[in-house]
Amino acid sequence: MYRIRISRPRALAVPAVLLAVAMGATACGGHDSKSSGSDNGKGGAGKPGSASSASQISVTPGNSKSGVDPASPVKVTLADGTLGSVTVTAAGKSADGVTPVEVTGALDAAKHTWTSNRTMTPGTGYTVKATGTDSSGKPTQATSTFTTLTLTAAKVNGVTPTPLNNAVVGVGLPVSLQFDKPVTNKAAVEKALSITTTPAVKGSWGWVRTETGYDRVDWRPDEYWKPNTKITLTAKLSGIDTGDGRYLRRDVNDTFSVGPSRISYVDLKAHTMRVTENGATVKTFKISGGKPSFPTWNGQMVVISKQSTIRMTSSSVGIATSKDSSDFYDKDVHWAVNITLSGTFTHAAPWNAAKMGVENASHGCIGMNTDDAKWFFDRAVRGDLVITSGSTRATVDKGNGYGDWNLTADQWHALSALA
């Protein structure tokens, strides 16, 4: 039997840092006006403490501009001279309490232009300060301020990353980012993502549509993770327009590691489950899979979560709503390990005890004797693999849980928005 649980992911609150970046050059939007060192709110230029020529530094966005697209670049230019330093500093938290990200950038080869190389936090006031030297060798400087667009609720897109918090996971868990609202600008999102691993691992981002209707991007290695691999996700998402003016508000950064290789092989014809750890078989026990009218999925599935007790109902998966139906069920089930979003679990099924190892009699789940189910439950961690074969049903879809592994490495690479 199986059960669907659909829950709306919440945007994850991930802290970021205040912005104050000193680069080889800086930018600031100043007007060409004579100044003795003060910028009077319109930009200024000059050698501190002495009179100087007007600033020749220009900044985009312009001074005092509001509602600036956080995905637009900051650009500082000194056409007749060379830029020295540029800093872009946020004035405290954003309008909705988010700590702004650090805005970085770089000079061109001629040191005439500095351009930011990442997006900004929405609803945030920024100050750009730039210094340089004009063509006559005199110092010049400018200061400019602007405010990025403050988002309404309809303009916010949220993201839920997996895994988090230095988790130790199984060898099959991809790095995953699921979005609250549709993502039509997938390339812009993917360009902001990076993965580093120790040791180095080859893999790719790929986009899927989940069984529950959300856009998700996963980074999957070409082969299963090796135990003890360390993975770091850096996602510079704050200010990214995911499409139709729906912006992400925060960056995401996390590190996790891979534990032992635990892969379980379910033979639905032989009615057995063989559990391996680091390549060695540690236990084989009898099971009962989905009966012919409700067969279990074929293919490679990944442990999503587990619950010691869960209520399973036939109505939740559209099988039977009436107690008069022979397929009706409504009961508490123990030692449940979830492996698909459509509701496939491994779990204790004492009501099918006589059918273990003999007959497939469930509504799609993998039932076990209670002691075996608890043994497996105690061992299972998110990311462990459960591979089924011998069913009359199709191979589980890539978006039905973490079905990523049912594609070859080449097929997976082709799902990248940058492929």
Question: In sequence order, what are the residues at sequence separation of 6 or more whose Cβ sits closer than 8 angstroms to the Cβ of residue 382?
Answer: 163, 167, 169, 170, 173, 302, 303, 304, 305
Asked if 267 and 389 touch (Cβ cutoff 8 Å), the reply is: yes
Residue 233 pLDDT: 98
More confident site: 52 or 292: 292
Side chain identity, residue 235: A
Retrieve residue 165's tokens. Answer: 């918090």
Q: How does pLDDT run across 164-212, given as a tens digit for each residue? A: 889 999 999 999 999 999 999 999 999 999 999 999 999 999 999 999 9
Mean pLDDT of 278-294: 97
- 278 pLDDT more than 60: yes
Looking at 13-22, 159-168, 211-220, 226-235, which range is the least confident one? Answer: 13-22
Q: How far apart are CA 114 and CA 77, in angstroms?
A: 7
Catalytic positions? 347, 365
Side chain identity, residue 143: T
- 146 pLDDT more than 90: yes
Q: How far apart are CA 218 and CA 207, in angstroms?
A: 6
Q: How far apart are CA 127 and CA 260, in angstroms?
A: 49
Phi, psi for 74 (deg, rounded to 5): -90, 130
Q: How far apart are CA 232 and CA 230, in angstroms?
A: 7
How many C-alpha atoms does 406 have within 13 Å on its Cβ side?
21
- DSSP letters, 162-186, are ES-TT-EE-TTPPEEEEESS--S-H
Mean pLDDT of 223-238: 98
For residue 199, whether the previous peptide bond is cis, meaning omega lies within 30 degrees of 0, is yes
Q: How far apart are CA 222 and CA 233, in angstroms?
A: 17
- 13 pLDDT more than 70: no
Question: In sequence order, what are the residues at sequence separation of 6 or more whose Cβ sits closer than 8 angstroms to the Cβ of residue 90?
Answer: 18, 19, 100, 103, 121, 124, 125, 126
As a whole number, the mean pLDDT across the chain is 88
Looking at 236-245, 254-263, 313-322, 379-388, which range is the least confident one? Answer: 313-322
Handedness of CA 351, 355, 357, 360 (dihedral sign): negative
What Rg value do the Cα atoms of the chain yield, rounded? Answer: 28
pTM of the model: 0.83
Q: Taking Cα atoms as reference points, which of 123, 78, 393, 401 lies closest to residue 248?
A: 123
More confident site: 136 or 17: 136
Side chain identity, residue 157: N
Residue 295 pLDDT: 97
Q: Please give the helix or strand (H or E) that residue 386 lies within, else none.
A: strand 385-389
- 154 pLDDT more than 70: yes
Residue 169 pLDDT: 98
Q: How does pLDDT run across 39-70, given as a tens digit for each residue? A: 333 343 333 333 334 679 999 999 999 999 99
Question: In sequence order, what are the residues at sequence separation of 6 or more whose Cβ sits closer than 8 angstroms to the Cβ of residue 414?
Answer: 206
Q: How far apart are CA 249 and CA 103, in angstroms?
A: 14
For residue 73, whether the previous peptide bond is cis, meaning omega lies within 30 degrees of 0, is no
Residue 35 pLDDT: 34
Three-state DSSP at 346 gives: strand
In the chain, what are the domain boundaries? 262-411
Question: In sequence order, what are the residues at sequence separation of 6 or more whose Cβ sits closer than 8 angstroms to the Cβ of residue 338?
Answer: 303, 304, 305, 306, 307, 344, 345, 401
Looking at 29-33, 92-96, 111-115, 377-381, which range is the least confident one? Answer: 29-33
Confidence of residue 38 (pLDDT cuts 50, 70, 90): very low
Retrieve residue 369's tokens. Answer: 């004797």
Tell me the β-bridge partners of 298: 395
Q: How does pLDDT run across 295-325, given as a tens digit for each residue? A: 999 999 999 999 999 998 876 666 766 666 7
DSSP character at residue 347:
E
- 135 pLDDT more than 60: yes
Residue 312 pLDDT: 87
How far is Cα of residue 134 from the mean position of the Cα atoms in its chain?
45
State the virtual CA torsion across 359, 302, 299, 266 in degrees, nearest 10. -30
- Compute the residue count for the chain: 419
Return the percentage of the chain with pLDDT > 70, whole number.
84
Residue 97 pLDDT: 93
Residue 55 pLDDT: 75
- Quickly name the fold that domain 262-411 has: L,D-transpeptidase catalytic domain-like (2.40.440)
Q: How does pLDDT run across 75-88, given as a tens digit for each residue? A: 999 999 999 999 99
Confidence of residue 287 (pLDDT cuts 50, 70, 90): very high
Residue 33 pLDDT: 33
Tell me the β-bridge partners of 219: 175, 205
Q: How far is CA 403 from CA 111, 202, 320, 365, in A?
A: 49, 19, 27, 16
- 95 pLDDT more than 70: yes
Looking at 242-256, 274-288, 307-321, 393-407, which range is the least confident one? Answer: 307-321
Q: How far apart are CA 83 and CA 110, in angstroms?
A: 9
Residue 379 pLDDT: 97
Handedness of CA 308, 314, 317, 319 (dihedral sign): positive
